Amino acid sequence: MAESNLIQRLSGDERIELFRAVRESVGIPYFRVMESATAPIVQVEGADKIMLGSNNYLGLADHPAIRKGAQDALDRFGAAVTGSRLLNGTIDLHLELEAEIAAWHDTEDAIVFTTGYQTNLGTISAVVGPGDRVVVDAAAHASIRDGCSLSGADVRRFAHNDVAELEKVLQEPLDGDGAVLVIVDGLYSMEGDLAPLGAISAVCQRHGAALMVDEAHSLGVFGARRTGVAELFGIDTATDIRMASLSKSPSSTGGFIAGSRDLLDSLRVNASAFLFTTSGVPAAIGASLAAVRLIRSEEGAQRAQRALDNAAMLRNGLAHSGLDVSALSPLPAGGETVTPIVAVHIGDDLAAMDMWRQLFDRGVFTSAALYPAVPRSGALLRLCVMASHTDAQLNRAIEVIAETVTQAAA
């Protein structure tokens, strides 16, 4: 009998080797165990840490109104729905949430998937296929790239935020009558920079391409209604497919698409990742609904502003200490903005992990982003603020991060 080489060949994988080398030296920055709710201070493995590694931008994860939304749904519907949306897994809260999202985005319709990852996977693979072309930013999220691969469409990449290169790709002729879909993130989760959506939308319109924007990290923060970067750039109505996750600012789990009724009905019958998976648990849907309502309220506006003020404080404090932090992003009406994600550029993977460990030991929890999440030699420490961080917490984090990174470079 011939022996399979399946497991054997994994041993040469570069990423496994790196993972092991680091685990044996400084300890890995991943899979750490959180022992309390996501909040500005979190208990991790027996000690308090200032949490700068979560996507809880508005600080809603432990908010009483969101907890109540989850609790009420749990009390009414129990722990699980035990079925797909198609069969027995739709509860009235799903429909309420979808109606709320559509009204918020001012679109004809919206649908909620179980996770953001599945939203991208299911949507992209349902709307484009063989004969079509999908054009994605090189830094687009893994769920977008995986959705593209699954679709069977001709996949093209353009350099991150390079609109001239995007236009060149759009000029390339496509055989037959296939459609072209351009997909970008509104706010990129590694560098913390915004997509130049005004220019991207204009290029798409010039070439008859549809546009999909993933607002996973920008929902709740940008735009007067806080629907994201497309709204900030005034191109929300020109965006054909508006996607966001419910797991970051809304502090639940799930994802959604907002758009035209034709688009949404097509997903209802064609998106495998919508049809053939169990729908979100009631507590997640109840939490999402409460969070969306809060984000739309005056309190939501105040929290969004506070998140940006906190980001400015963190970024400026680190820049002032001489650290190489992420650039500001240009705004449509001129000027520049911070985003709730501040990257500190380190370069070398092992150096970044060593710094991560020192920060962890000194009570600051960050995220180490290494290749392939970032380009080779582009390792960075990613810091995410919450609206609920206090000035004292941010000042302490600035002091510790500045000392650690400066000493490591000396």
Q: How far is CA 235 from CA 126, 197, 370, in A?
A: 24, 7, 33
User: Which of 54, 56, 115, 310 lies at the binding interface for ligand PMP (CB under 6 A)?
Assistant: 115
Span near ligand PMP by CB under 6 A; candidates 111-119, 151-159, 221-229, 291-299? 111-119
Task: Determine the interface stretch with ligand PMP among 82-90, 114-122, 230-238, 376-384 (rule: CB under 6 A).
Answer: 114-122
Indicate the residue among 157 and 396 with the shorter CB distance to ligand PMP. 157
CB nearer to ligand PMP: give 374 or 398. Answer: 374
Q: Which is nearer to ligand PMP, 141 or 156 (CB)?
A: 141
Q: Across the beta sheet with 41-44, what order do the strands follow?
A: 41-44, 47-51, 364-365
Amino acid at 80: A
116 part of the interface to ligand PMP, by CB under 6 A: yes
Give min distance, CB of 11 to ligand PMP, in A: 29
Among 141, 145, 357, 389, binds ligand PMP (CB under 6 A): 141
Q: Which residue has the tokens 């997903």?
A: 267
Binding mask 175-204 for ligand PMP (x = CB under 6 A): ----------x---x---------------
Q: Which is nearer to ligand PMP, 272 or 302 (CB)?
A: 272
Task: Calculate the alpha carbon distances from 153 to 78, 157, 174, 219, 297 in Å.
Answer: 41, 13, 11, 28, 40
Would you count residue 366 as binding ligand PMP (CB under 6 A)? Answer: no
Based on the shown chain and the rule CB under 6 A, indicate whether residue 247 belongs to the binding site for ligand PMP. Answer: yes
Q: Does 326 bind ligand PMP (CB under 6 A)?
A: no
CA distance linking residue 71 with residue 286, whole number of Å: 8
Task: Report the alpha-carbon distance of residue 90 to residue 235 in Å, rounded.
Answer: 32
Check if the beta carbon of residue 337 is closer than 8 Å to that of residue 308: yes
CA distance 196 to 119: 23
* Region 56-75 residues binding ligand PMP, contact defined as CB under 6 A: none
Smallest separation (angstroms) from ligand PMP to the CB of 120: 6
Q: Does 214 bind ligand PMP (CB under 6 A)?
A: yes
3-state SS of 321-352 is: CCCCECCCEECCCCCEECCCEEEEEEECHHHH
By CB under 6 A, residue 123 contacts ligand PMP = no
**Of the ranges 115-123, 173-181, 283-291, 322-330, which one interacts with ligand PMP (CB under 6 A)?**
115-123
Residues 27-46 that bind ligand PMP (CB under 6 A): none
The answer to the question of residue 125 lying near ligand PMP (CB under 6 A) is no
Task: Indicate the SS3 state at residue 356.
Answer: helix
Contact call for residue 145 and ligand PMP (CB under 6 A): no
Q: Is 41 helix (H, G, I), strand (E, B) or coil?
A: strand
By CB under 6 A, residue 120 contacts ligand PMP: yes
Chain center to CA of 374: 15
**In the complex, residue closest to ligand PMP by CB:** 116
C-beta of 118: minimal distance to ligand PMP in Å?
A: 7
Min dist. Cβ of residue 248 to ligand PMP (A): 7
Please state at what angle helix 391-409 crosses helix 298-320, rounded to 10 degrees: 30
Choosing from 216, 287, 323, 381, the residue that interacts with ligand PMP (CB under 6 A) is: 216
Question: For 396, how many CA atoms within 13 A lie in the half-sphere containing its CB?
Answer: 16
Told to check if 117 binds ligand PMP by CB under 6 A, we report yes
Residue 71 CA to residue 73 CA, distance in Å, equals 5
Closest to ligand PMP by CB, 69 or 317: 69
Q: Which residues are within 8 A (CB) of 137 and not within 5 positions of it... i.e. 6 or more apart?
A: 157, 158, 160, 161, 166, 183, 184, 185, 195
288 near ligand PMP (CB under 6 A): no
CA-closest candidate to residue 286, choices 328, 253, 311: 253
In the complex, what is the shortest distance from the CB of residue 116 to ligand PMP, in angstroms, rounded to a whole number? 2
Tell me which residues touch ligand PMP (CB under 6 A). 115-117, 120, 141, 143, 185, 189, 214, 216-217, 245, 247, 255
